[in-house]
Amino acid sequence: MINLTMDGLKISVEPGATLLDVARFYGANIPTLCYDEALSPYGACRLCLVEIGEPGKSRLVSSCTYPAREKLNVRTNTVRVMQTRKMIIELYLATCPSSKTIQDLASKYGVTGVRFSPKNEECILCGLCVRMCEEQMQAKAIGFVDRGVNRRISTAFDRKSEQCRLCGACMYICPVCQARCQGPSEESTLCNACLNLSPPCLENNDHTLCYMDPCAACELKKKTNQ
Amino acid sequence: MDLEAPKIKSAEEFFYIQRNYQKQYRDNNRFIVICGDTGCTARNSKAILGNLDRCLKEKDLSETVGTRFTGCLGLCESGPLVIVYPEEILYHRVIPDDMLEIVEETVLEGRIIDRLIYRDPSSGEKYAYARDLPFYKKQVRNLLGGNWKTDPTKIEDYIALGGYEALVKAVTEMSPGEVVQEVKEARLRGRGGAGFDAGLKWEECFKASGRKFIICNADEGDPGAFMDRSLLEGNPHAVLEGLIIGAYATGAREGVVYIRSEYPTAVEKIKTAINRAEELGLVGDDILGSGFGVQIYLSIGAGAFVCGETSALIASVDGRIGEPVQKPPRLVQHGYLDRPTVVNNVETLANVPHIIKQGAENYRATGTEASSGTKIFSLVGKVNNTGLVEVPLGMTLREIIFEIGGGIKEGKAFKAVQTGGPSGGCLPASYLDLPTDFESLTEVGSLMGSGGMIVMDEDTCMVDLAGYFLKFLADESCGCCFTCREGINRLLELVQNISCGRGSLDQLDLLKELAEVVKDSTLCGLGQTAPNPVLSTIKYFEDEYRAHILQNKCPAGVCRALITFEIIESYCNGCGLCKKNCPSDAITGEQKQTHYIDKDQCDKCGICFSTCRNEAILKQ
């Protein structure tokens, strides 16, 4: 067994578990866009960032790809993690505002403005469909093409694929193309219709594990203040 | 050379063969070296070689005077370079027709040809002998020194000059553990960029069991940097020897040289080197009768910048898409084919024979306490002597740029130097006395990197520069991590907005915020260092960003959207040169009358500015 600390909690886990597995098992709230239990982790969406290492020398890693290791100090809910995550969500919103999954994330994490110019892409290149096609459907009909800003998902040589069985698994797993959000305004690319206005505990405590939605402690505090 | 030479079976046999080669080398000490590196080849050094061969034949000297077409000699600015041995007379900017004169005057008569010798651009002093040049004098050319006298295709030259001695010593006198210990004590740090202790890496691999690999990382892709290529093209056996010693020390029985296909000459040279070493029995089974054997393979990459990152490199060697993966597990535990793998940079490996030969103690004498040895920098940009320089680690930037590099071109003012390739930072003049070692550079927001050093003068716009490097990185990002792919792209968008005069102070803040996020949240070194050009230029040249935003002015006069060209009436004599050369027909005016620029039509190409002889064009 591997012993590690997560959000101040001393826990021991089976070897081979990733930090995301551990965090989710213990109820920490970590969002993902490119992760699925049935597929190999890829670490592309960068939303599942957690802070590892002692304060002062810590760094951010994607929890879905990082293996649990002995004596690791993991914090899933710090100001640094949250600020980075908010910025990433803002980038996602500017890139792909029509996704309900992303708009929901924005509401949940309190992203109330987008400062980048809107792009309206159809794909966030999370690679779920590619892995689904390869690992679960054993078809390998689609894959990544090119690199950097030109990267896209396509069939081999952009031709109609003979491997594709039209099973639709790629569409099923896509976080962007199934659930559409009709709300976002054209300029701000933001919907915020589902915005949850109860604040997380972060402002009060950097290390608190808060997975309640809304958080009872915060609500209580608000009430007493009133 | 007899191609069917029997394989060397023992140290005695090696030294016997070495003595033979040394005698051959000494007997033919009259030879002419022509630089065959990219810069000089581009200036026709192949024709020089052809002409030289013809001249020697004509004068009946083919038997007595040898020729060597070598790797980079360093002073690329003044190429093509020709050195006449044994006097070491250096001629620069030679054209093919000069060869007859060189053969007649220098080789036959022993006279120095005055017009071809090097003249220092700043002091005007002349230097006839290569060893006297200030450019070479300040350098410690441990690794590049071999380029001067060795034909890279000939193993005989390398052995005659003491090559493969380190391998013989390691294999016959030392145990693998001792070699690892020696490298560890020498504090050899990886020259590829991260500066990780090579000895520690080797030790970890040495302790692992089973099938292991050692990989030489020759995927150099920084714009303006050519250290590794020059080493491979000029002295491939030095790298190969380091690789074999590395294999011996770590217990790897298979070695791979990963090299990009954009380096065809280097591929050719290392291929020849491996074949020649195999023929002599220095690569293969049972090297020098010690029972140790290693097979070396070549793996040609398609030339993606990100494949220089070790985990992406291994994916590429394996035939997968070159994408970095999360570490841990570290490569020394789970690398190529999931086996322990050590990946070393070309330059790191080239240092190994020197460590073994002279011992860790002597090796540590050069350089600083934490960073020992020498480092090759490719000094490019607005300096007088561009080229490859090799200096002890810890030398100050001022010494490199002003003493070796000969100062800024055309007497202009120094503005900034960018170290560490596209993801390094730009350092202003106040850091000129900073020692170049791994820690000092990282501390001030730059990088040692693989050794690119780009010098900029007052005519460089830092916003434009940051945009240039971001463009490169946006193209070269593998695109896996969202924050790297989209983040760099958005950084570029913001920087371009500012350089077009559409920026705002809010955007500048956003730029900083986003840069920090990209740095923090990306998986591999490419994304983590990509914001460095932005962050360092904002840190040291924020004024310039502000001038672009608040005054809509580009202080260096580079950003096209923010500059205007105007003709000063009193200076214009109506020669019509600007009008003739203007590609967008924006200039009007009669002969011998003052000309005018139509600002709506002006494309801001700056041709009028550079063609005007009376300095009548005002750039604002």
The CATH number for B589's domain is 3.30.70.20
Does any CB of chain B come closer than 8 Å to the CB of residue A46? Answer: yes
**CATH code of the domain in which B511 resides:** 1.20.1440.230
8 Å CB contact of A87 and B517: yes
Q: Which residues of B touch A84 (CB under 8 A)?
A: 517, 520-521
Confidence of residue B171 (pLDDT cuts 50, 70, 90): very high
Instruction: Count the Cβ atoms, other than its own, within 10 Å of residue A202.
Output: 17
Question: B307, B332, B364: which is the final residue of a domain?
Answer: B364
CA B85 to chain centroid, in Å, comes to 26
Domain end residue (candidates: B392, B425, B457): B457
Percent of chain B predicted with pLDDT > 70 = 99
Identify which of A44, A69, A84 has the shortest CB distance to residue B517: A84
Domain containing residue B393 = 374-457
Question: pLDDT class for A179, splitting at 50, 70, 90?
Answer: low
Q: Do B477 and A148 touch (CB under 8 A)?
A: yes
Q: Which fold has domain A128-173?
A: Alpha-Beta Plaits (3.30.70)
Mean pLDDT within B267-291: 92
Asked if the structure places residue B234 within a domain, the reply is yes
**Is B321 in CB contact (< 8 Å) with chain A?**
yes
Tokens at residue B409, please?
């071109």
At B252, the amino acid letter reads A
In this prediction, residues B445-460 reach a mean pLDDT of 88
Asked if residue B422 is part of any domain, the answer here is yes
Residues B358 and B422 in one domain: no
Q: Do the chains contact at B520 and A60, CB–CB below 8 Å?
A: yes
Average pLDDT over residues B274-298: 92
Residue B11 within any structural domain of the chain = no
**Contact B487/A at CB under 8 A:** yes
pLDDT above 90: residue A195: no
- Closest residue of chain A to B304, computed from CA coordinates: A147
pLDDT value of residue B294 = 94
Interface with B, mutate which of A46, A64, A150, A189 (most B CBs under 10 A): A46
Same domain membership, residue B613 and residue B576: yes
Architecture of domain A2-77: Roll (3.10)
pLDDT at B1 over 50: no
What number is the ipTM of this complex? 0.86
Q: Are B522 and B569 in a shared domain?
A: no
Same structural domain for residues B497 and B419?
Answer: no
**Structure tokens of A161?**
């694929």
B291 in the same domain as B248: yes
For residue B5, being part of any structural domain is answered with no
CB atoms closer than 10 angstroms to residue B16: 11
Interface test with A, best of B316, B471, B473, B482 (most A CBs within 10 A): B482
Domain end, chosen from B321, B344, B364, is at B364
Mean pLDDT of B118-123: 82
CATH number assigned to the domain comprising residue B109: 3.40.30.10
Confidence grade of residue B5 (pLDDT, cut at 50, 70, 90): low
Mean pLDDT, chain B, integer? 90
| Same domain as B358, residue B297 | yes
Over the stretch B479-528, which tens digit does the pLDDT of each residue have? 999 999 999 999 999 999 999 988 999 999 999 999 999 999 999 988 99
**B184 plus B262 within the same structural domain:** yes
Percentage above 70 pLDDT, chain A = 83
Between residues A119 and A222, the one the model is more confident about: A119
Confidence band, pLDDT 50/70/90 cuts, at residue A192: confident
CA distance B438 to chain A (A): 18
Residue A205 has pLDDT above 80, yes or no: no
Question: What would the two tokens of residue B363 be?
Answer: 């090796």
Residue A219: its pLDDT value, please? 64
pLDDT of residue B445: 80
The verdict on A149 touching B (C-beta cutoff 8 Å) is: yes
Condensed to tens digits (0 to 9), the pLDDT of residues A86-100 reads 999 999 999 988 888
Adjacency order of strands within the sheet including A2-6: A9-13, A2-6, A73-75, A49-52, A59-62
Cβ <8 Å between A43 and B513:
no
Per-domain boundaries in chain A: 2-77, 128-173, 192-226
* A34 Cβ neighbours under 8 A, 6+ residues apart: A42, A43, A44, A45, A64, A126, A127, A128
Q: Provide the CATH number for the domain around residue B329.
A: 3.40.50.11540
Checking if the pLDDT of A199 tops 50, the result is no
Quick count: other Cβ atoms within 10 Å of Cβ A8?
Answer: 11
Q: What is the residue-averaged pLDDT of chain A? A: 84
Claim to verify: residue B568 and residue B607 sit in the same structural domain? yes
Does residue B259 sit in the same domain as residue B357?
Answer: yes
Q: Are residues B180 and B251 in the same domain?
A: yes
In a domain, B1, yes or no: no
Please indicate, yes or no, whether residues B168 and B297 belong to a single structural domain of this protein: yes
Chain B residues with CB-CB distance to A61 below 8 A: 326
- B122-145 pLDDT, tens digit per residue, is 778 888 888 888 888 888 888 888
Report the domain count for chain B.
Answer: 5
pLDDT in tens, B343-400: 999 999 999 999 999 999 999 999 888 888 999 999 999 998 888 899 999 999 999 9
Nearest beta carbon to residue B326 from set A43, A115, A146: A43
Structure confidence by residue, pLDDT tens digits, B408-428 = 988 889 999 998 888 888 999
pLDDT band at A38, cuts 50/70/90? very high
Q: Note the pLDDT of residue B395.
A: 92
- B495 and B422 both lie in a single domain: no
Residue B557 in domain:
no
pTM of the predicted model, to two decimals?
0.88
Structure tokens belonging to residue B127: 């230097």
